[in-house]
Structure 1
Amino acid sequence: MSEQVQAWSERIREASAQGRALRIRGGGTKDFYGRPVAGEVLDTTAHAGVVSYEPSELVVTVRAGTRLADVEALLAGSGQMLAFEPPHFGAGGTVGGCVAAGLAGPRRATAGGVRDFVLGAKLIDGRGDVLKFGGEVMKNVAGYDVSRFLAGSLGTLGLIVELSLKVLPRPVTEATLRFALDEAAALHRLNQWAGQPLPLSASVWQDGVLHLRLSGAGAAVDAAIARLGGERLDDAEADVLWRGLRDHRAGFFEGAAPLWRLSVPSDALAVALPGAQLVEWGGAQRWLRSAAPASEIRPRVAALGGHATLFRGGTGGEEVFHPLPAPLVALQRKLKHAFDPAGIFGPGRLHAGL
């Protein structure tokens, strides 16, 4: 055990004994996400570096405080990538924060989400014990897959110390097509194309324009372009588009109204709510800029079979994530108690009272 991990274990034991809340923080690029939380900051950025990386094994193991940008640069040198295309939201974003937030970018609908790429994890629980789950190979799961449900936990179960992530080769060829379509037509086309053997890797619709990204072998991408039509963007313009979407630098995300993240079935109809909308993931993720209250937004989204998260712009007192049914609340409490019996890690960040 390193000196840093030992020091953290002792600090967590003391905080647990005293009932003192801790707020786990890496680069701070996702401080806005979730409900406000008080507590002493436990900074992870000093615990950085690559533990192991063998490109032929398609696995990288890193310390949680390692910058996401550094890991991606390392992988790019071997023609590989984190296929869930995690958002950075700033230069200081860390791998631990990336997994704890559980957020994926434009490629998520075709490649999978964060938890699909977490093979193993080492963390310190609320008792100060160092625990290890999973491993560094694809088939390592026995019993509860703890390493994967850390994705999206926002630091409320323990301090992530180390992570093993599956990586994939970068596509040989990519192309982005632009189509002039209204929302209904774009949703129809996206659901049509999803059932066909096309090398789709991302999509976004806003203000009457649909952009579609194709990724794969050159012949497959060229054949798809000939079949689909549309206007092809040059590579530089396409890169700005997808990076801006990934990191919310596009103009849509710069508005003053609260930003809602709506998760619905991909074939759901247009979400009839006031405000501006942007559609991603083949229709399964829809962003809404609206001053409408949660009491109007959440029932409408639930009626479509989905849920709504207040991603940015709340007052600080409301529930950020869609309220859970009673059985799931009970399950969350048991899980929280199992890993953090004194409730010191980010109390209330996911839901009030948890």
Structure 2
Amino acid sequence: MSNDITQQLQSQILESYKSRKPLKICAGNSKNFYGHQIEANCIDTTGHNGIISYEPTELVITARSGTSLKEIESTLDKNGQILPFEPPHFADTATIGGTVACNLSGPRRAYTGAARDFVLGSNIINGKAEKLKFGGQVMKNVAGYDASRLMCGAMGTLGLILDVSLKVLPKPETEITLGYECDIHQALDFMHHWVKQSLPVSGSYYDGTYLYIRLSGNNSSVSSAQKTMGGDVIDDSEAFWKQIKEQTHDFFNSDKPLWRLSLASNNSPLNLTGNTVYEWGGALRWLSSDESEKIIRAELTSLGGHATLFKNNKTDGSAFHPLNSGLLNIHKQLKSAFDPENILNPGRMYKDF
């Protein structure tokens, strides 16, 4: 059955390639708000689902792109394992293909790695309807330019992901969350100091008044870290971090544009209007603001960072930070190589391609 669906997907892309008609890659649509909207025929991958192989002792799982995140995480949980980058779902329909395509990671990302760091290999169909295989199921199979990880964050603009192999990790033996009432300068100092001490930090969140730090690991390491760090133990820690990961926390419920700001963690608070919360030790900042796109992007550019308009796009500008001429040229060359007729999710990331 999976081969039949693969052939159907390949035939649909081939037809579009010949007619030069664009396609919008569709699956669970849990992240449909992200990036620019596309007017095109849908190519649906939800029927292309199922776990192909899973070797708990090898810490590797391979699944088709339409497989739900819930199924994958449930299977891993039965064997005491997790997806280390803690991907957000945003809806029960979330799939592993969309997760990898968007390269979105949760609170654990700053301490264990991003989604692309755990991709070992993938099979895709490019814009010429060619099936391509990259990487494998072990790290040693990845040599030269790792094109499988190139699919992470490309949002389907380079190819339709058929399946992906991911490295997984054991589930932590225990987790607790500690809280501290402090100002932003103290919060940043705390987060930097504790990371330098190699404490088992797996999540950080500062809301402007209170700093939350999650510790994950074996019982002895977490207990030892707690004695070193002090703080108040937060009840129902799992529910709190799920609110942050899935953006159901009150902060994310505003109807104002939500900006995802990425910059060096040691930067001081930004001179921007609106409300800000901090994750990833200060390297990820969420800004809920009606401030103009021009001002926000100028501020981030001056600091060597970038700003993504993540939700509630009320502007006619780009959702993603403008590329400099060098990066823009690389993006266009990659798009031309993988999708020369610009039929796969055209304009999803940048409106020109």
Instruction: Provide TM-score, normalisation by structure 2.
Output: 0.98
Residue equivalent to 1:346: 345
Residue equivalent to 2:148: 147
Residue equivalent to 2:80: 79
1:45 aligned partner, one-letter code: T
Residue aligned with 1:56, SS: coil
Written as runs of structure 1 = structure 2, the 5 A alignment for 1:30-109 is 30-109=31-110
Residue 242 in structure 1 maps to residue 241 in structure 2: yes
CA contact (8 A) 2:12 2:43 kept: no
Q: Distance in 1 between matches of 2:229 and 2:271?
A: 29
Residue equivalent to 1:29: 30
**CA RMSD, Structure 1 to Structure 2 (Å):** 0.9
Written as runs of structure 1 = structure 2, the 5 A alignment for 1:134-213 is 134-213=135-214
Q: Distance in 2 between matches of 1:351 and 1:126?
A: 17
5+ residue gaps, structure 1: none
CA contact (8 A) 1:187 1:282 kept: yes
Query: Aligned pair in 2 of structure 1 residues 29, 75: CA closer, same or farther (>3 Å)?
Result: same
CA contact (8 A) 1:62 1:163 kept: yes
Deviation at 1:81, TM superposition (A): 0.3
Residues 303-341 of structure 1: CA distance to partner in whole angstroms, max 9, x if unpaired? 222110000111363101100001111110110011101
1:22 aligned partner, one-letter code: L
Residue 19 in structure 1 maps to residue 20 in structure 2: yes
Q: Distance in 1 between matches of 2:219 and 2:238?
A: 18
Q: Distance in 2 between matches of 1:279 and 1:268?
A: 12
Residue equivalent to 2:216: 215
Residue equivalent to 2:284: 285
CA contact (8 A) 1:38 1:346 kept: no
2:145 aligned partner, one-letter code: Y
5+ residue gaps, structure 2: none
Residues 232-263 of structure 1: CA distance to partner in whole angstroms, max 9, x if unpaired? 012xx211110010010100000011000000
Written as runs of structure 1 = structure 2, the 5 A alignment for 1:231-270 is 231-234=232-235, 237-270=236-269
Written as runs of structure 1 = structure 2, the 5 A alignment for 1:274-353 is 274-315=273-314, 317-353=316-352
CA contact (8 A) 1:134 1:145 kept: yes
Q: Distance in 2 between matches of 1:36 and 1:269?
A: 34
CA contact (8 A) 1:51 1:62 kept: yes
Deviation at 1:193, TM superposition (A): 1.3
Q: Distance in 2 between matches of 1:283 and 1:92?
A: 30
Q: Distance in 1 between matches of 2:238 and 2:258?
A: 24
2:111 aligned partner, one-letter code: T
Residues 197-224 of structure 1: CA distance to partner in whole angstroms, max 9, x if unpaired? 2010000000300000001111110011
1:240 aligned partner, one-letter code: A
1:343 aligned partner, one-letter code: N
Deviation at 1:138, TM superposition (A): 2.0
Query: Aligned pair in 2 of structure 1 residues 6, 316: CA closer, same or farther (>3 Å)?
Result: farther
CA contact (8 A) 1:186 1:210 kept: yes
Q: Distance in 2 between matches of 1:310 and 1:320?
A: 5
CA contact (8 A) 1:35 1:316 kept: no
1:38 aligned partner, one-letter code: E
Residue aligned with 2:199, SS: coil
Residue aligned with 1:139, SS: helix
CA contact (8 A) 1:59 1:166 kept: yes
Deviation at 1:271, TM superposition (A): 1.4
Residue aligned with 1:57, SS: coil
Residues 62-81 of structure 1: CA distance to partner in whole angstroms, max 9, x if unpaired? 00000001100000000000
Q: Distance in 1 between matches of 2:174 and 2:21?
A: 52
CA contact (8 A) 1:36 1:316 kept: no
Q: Distance in 2 between matches of 1:216 and 1:31?
A: 34
2:10 aligned partner, one-letter code: S
Q: Distance in 1 between matches of 2:332 and 2:47?
A: 31
CA contact (8 A) 2:257 2:314 kept: no
2:228 aligned partner, one-letter code: R
Residue aligned with 1:122, SS: strand
Q: Distance in 2 between matches of 1:284 and 1:298?
A: 16
Deviation at 1:183, TM superposition (A): 1.0
Deviation at 1:143, TM superposition (A): 2.4
2:16 aligned partner, one-letter code: A
